[in-house]
A and B are shown apart, each in its own frame.
Chain A
Amino acid sequence: MNSGAVASTTALSKQFPGASRAALSEVSLEIRPGVVTGLVGPDGAGKTTLLRILAGLLLPTAGTVRVLGSDPGQDMETLRSSLGYMPQKFGLYEDLTVAENLNLYAELKGLRGKARAETFERLLTFTDLARFTKRLAGQLSGGMKQKLGLACTLLGTPKILLLDEPGVGVDPVSRRELWQMVRELITEGNAVVWSTAYLDEAEACDDVVLLSEGNVLFKGPPRSLHARVEGRVFLLDGASESPRATLRKARRDPASLDGVVQGKSVRLIARAGATLEPTRHGVSSEALLRRVAPRFEDGFIDLLGGVSSAESALAQALAERPRDGRVVIETRALTKKFGDFVAADSISLEVQRGEVFGLLGPNGAGKSTTFKMLCGLLAPTSGEAEVAGVDLRRGRAAARQRLGYMAQKFSLYGHLSIAQNLEFFAGAYALTGKTKKEAIERLVAVFEFGHYLDTKAGELPLGLKQRLALAAAVLHGPEILFLDEPTSGVDPLTRREFWTHINGIVERGVTVLVTTHFMDEAEYCDRIALISQGKTLAIGTPDELKAQAATAELPYPTMEEAFIGLVGRPS
């Protein structure tokens, strides 16, 4: 063990009573001082458990853990002032003002008098919250809450900072600022552990620990992961068909390990030692393959072994719908006000049949509000929204029959089994007899629910939950699918699989409306509306938007950079 390590664990295991698998399995790692260590993995990987053990809030079932030379589980007293922990919900008291929250934590950490006043001034400037000291914490935006949470954690100048998914759902600008702040904190003596599910954040860390289902898959600098797939990552441009169709065909090539849509191109990873031959499998001959530098995500996929197939059995079972370019979703000056607060301001957009349309923006931007108004869950203050030609507010059952909906958080019945959930939704959509039986059986086969049919939905692993939610949404063969942040927190493999199904369905003529704050997911869409603070900033294809945001310094911005460029600074 490196004696310079700020924290370390040796064969750390944690088993919660009654859980089917260990939360952490033989995890050994070291946190070096002077760097930002990323703890990366999908929901359920064990990141929060690990952080809590490091913070002394949980005791390990086996193995040892050392933080700054002591065992956090036994020596909380000595470590208290050197350790800062920011939980996922920030640990803020919503009924208290910014100042009151700060004062409370300052008092609890023994920071008094002049030291307190100085620290407050420093932190308030640092987080740009000086203007909001009297505002109730519950009324702050997501980004501001994050910063306040960080400020409270920084009271008492800790030597090791444990941040549990601090960047979740926050707008990209705030997320950048948070990163900036954290980087400034790094000195020679302290360390930051930043846990995240976002692989692009992982890439920005100095050290990375990749967790999946409680196991460490990889640890080291991100660049080392790239080395795995160096030379095996390619971009396929210039095909005549849509990128989606290109992807499907390219993936038929057994030499391909993984593939994903990236703007107008298709990004492919070749298996070790194999050569890609896309044109042999149906891709048009003008398509060109060029090698590119790998991303962190590519390495991760390679580690996990890639996805099984690119064909969606689900899509194959669906009836083909006419691609007539008709507008199936339309809004005109759609507005929603909550009192004085304008959540959605005059949103106008059109979605054609067979399109994947994305509403892109951070939490609080108004995309969920717009989305809900489209689904008929919220009544607009003014403006109109029509889906399949019908205003859903007055929608009769017949109109809703044609929609499918998948909510952001798992919104099916946790106490009921998969089979019971599917039965219920089949009935809700008036499927009976043979039709019902066939529909359910087909979905069970496609999504491989077999073993889990009688397990309570709440106890399923996240990937299966997502699949169940998707199954319930498509059970009745809808022509329009509404997906609200469908892949947040999910591992890349599940996300791939999910989009394989979606792409397959879309090719059969189903229209999909997606909302997401995950900028990269925007690449999968045909067109996007960028929403910030209730207004549409821009509507267009991903490439169009990137072109709009391109500047001399940044000729090829990523989606996130495009967003930041187009939005300017939020207040």
Chain B
Amino acid sequence: MNATVIRLLALIKKELQMVIGDTQSLRLLIAPVVMMLLVFPFAATLEVKNNALYVLDRDGGPVATEIIERLSHTPAFSQVRRLRGEADMRAVIDRQDALVVLQIGPHFSERVLAGQPEPIQAILDGRRSNSGQIALGYVQSILAGIPVGTALDAARPPLVVRHWYNQNLDYYRFILPSLVAIIATFSALIVTAMSVAREREQGTLDQLLVSPLTPWMLFVGKSIPALVVALIQATIILIASVFFYGVEFRGNVLSLYLCLVPYVLALAGIGLFISTVCSTQQQAFLGVFLCMMPGILLSGFVTPIDNMPEILQTLTWANPIRHFIAIAKGIYLKASLVSDFTDNLIALGCIAVVTASVSLALFQRRLS
């Protein structure tokens, strides 16, 4: 066997032993995954649930009653509470007890039955504007469905809305594929960024450099465990998603794993870059944090990329997390094909190549 191959294999084996062979470090890699799996899908939801709907009904007529009745059966509102007056209304919003308050005027039912247009006042808590608007959306669709018995209703053309891939717009379906990306990010970055810094601090780096092992071999050797760890974690999440949360995997599993490779390599490149630039583990950790926080916030995990200003959207092309979240969601939920993501994969490849080359160059320079 070629000497280089022998050396590389020995290096990879050693790296794997260090990352996986140690029970404590293994625990540190698995425990956060499990924790996040249990909490995030439940916590990360922009659905509006369990809120009380507050109504100030000054009318009391049949149409008002009908409306209140319908509203109390929406899943969005756990109960409907009646308010006694304006003062109550203020209090309940101030205290953030109410997301939305409806105010029905005194002659409401009368006028509606007479065919006169009559608005209902909806007041929402602007501090939680997003949730408020969603809640309003629910209210509006309920209202739209109430027949009032005028000829007009009969004339209005019907439409249908379909939410593909996620009929009920369940948030956990949205979160779980993205979790694969997020969790792989943590481990890949920490494993690669801290590893060179740790070797430097513990003194083993010199021993490596004196040996026939070259820097590029070191980099390859350190990227592999990141890949292995990411694969293991991804598998755990996928199994949990499919069997525990019941989110069917619609695409081709193999293509997801295939796309994981350039993603982890891109992350490893960034991790190695941090590792080369920082002298101590503490600095490396701060570096990881500085990259990770903006990386996650601007990846489409929290809020969609489409909502960002143009400049930022262009900048996110350099963010590997963004690309993989799109790929993961696509393959998992939409049965996308690898070919749908050619531009993302190319971007990942570029990131990996650029960061690795720069790191290598910097590393060589540090030696002098």
Interface string of A478-517 (1 = CB under 8 A from B): 0000100000000000000000000000000000000000
The answer to whether B203 and A378 have CB atoms under 8 Å apart is no
Query: Does chain A have a CB within 8 A of B207?
Result: yes
Query: Does chain A have a CB within 8 A of B202?
Result: yes
Q: Which of B1, B18, B203, B367 contacts A432 (CB 8 A)?
A: B1
Residues of B within 8 A of A426 (CB): 10
Using A407-B203, A409-B203, A411-B203 as known contacts, say yes or no to A428 and B1 having CB atoms under 8 A apart: no
Query: Does chain A have a CB within 8 A of B158?
Result: no
Query: Does chain B have a CB within 8 A of A430?
Result: yes
Query: Does chain A have a CB within 8 A of B119?
Result: no
Mark out the residues of chain B between 353 and 368 whose CB falls within 8 Å of any chain A CB in the assembled complex. Answer: 367-368
Name the residue of chain B whose CB is nearest to the CB of A424. B14
The distance in angstroms between the C-alpha atoms of A423 and B4, with both chains bound, is 16
Using A379-B368, A397-B212 as known contacts, say yes or no to A420 and B17 having CB atoms under 8 A apart: yes
If over half of B's interface residues share one DSSP class (helix, strand or loop), that class is named, otherwise mixed; here it is: helix
Query: Does chain A have a CB within 8 A of B9?
Result: yes
The answer to whether A427 and B10 have CB atoms under 8 Å apart is yes
Interface string of B1-36 (1 = CB under 8 A from A): 101101101110110011001100000000000000
Query: Does chain B have a CB within 8 A of A401?
Result: yes
Q: How far is the CB of A399 from chain B (nearest CB, A)?
A: 8
Query: Does chain A have a CB within 8 A of B282?
Result: no
The distance in angstroms between the C-alpha atoms of A420 and B10, with both chains bound, is 10
Query: Does chain B have a CB within 8 A of A556?
Result: no
Residues of B within 8 A of A407 (CB): 203, 206-207
The distance in angstroms between the C-alpha atoms of A94 and B211, with both chains bound, is 34
Query: Does chain A have a CB within 8 A of B213?
Result: yes
The answer to whether B3 and A412 have CB atoms under 8 Å apart is no
Residues of B within 8 A of A414 (CB): 202
Size class of the contact patch on chain A:
35 or more
Query: Does chain A have a CB within 8 A of B45?
Result: no
Query: Does chain A have a CB within 8 A of B210?
Result: yes
The answer to whether A420 and B14 have CB atoms under 8 Å apart is yes
Query: Does chain B have a CB within 8 A of A375?
Result: yes
The answer to whether B204 and A427 have CB atoms under 8 Å apart is no
The distance in angstroms between the C-alpha atoms of A429 and B208, with both chains bound, is 10
Q: How far is the CB of B101 from chain A (nearest CB, A)?
A: 57
The answer to whether B14 and A405 have CB atoms under 8 Å apart is no
The answer to whether B367 and A378 have CB atoms under 8 Å apart is yes
The answer to whether B6 and A397 have CB atoms under 8 Å apart is no
Q: How far is the CB of B18 from chain A (nearest CB, A)?
A: 6
The answer to whether B203 and A410 have CB atoms under 8 Å apart is yes
Name the residue of chain A whose CB is nearest to the CB of B364. A379
Residues of B within 8 A of A372 (CB): 206
Name B's A-contacting residues (CB within 8 A).
Answer: 1, 3-4, 6-7, 9-11, 13-14, 17-18, 21-22, 202-204, 206-214, 367-368
Name A's B-contacting residues (CB within 8 A).
Answer: 372, 375-379, 397-398, 400-401, 403, 405, 407-416, 420, 423-432, 472, 482
Beyond A377-B206, A398-B212, 19 additional pairs, beta carbon < 8 A: A375-B206, A375-B210, A377-B210, A377-B367, A378-B367, A379-B368, A397-B3, A397-B7, A400-B211, A405-B206, A416-B14, A420-B14, A424-B10, A424-B14, A428-B7, A428-B211, A428-B212, A429-B7, A432-B6
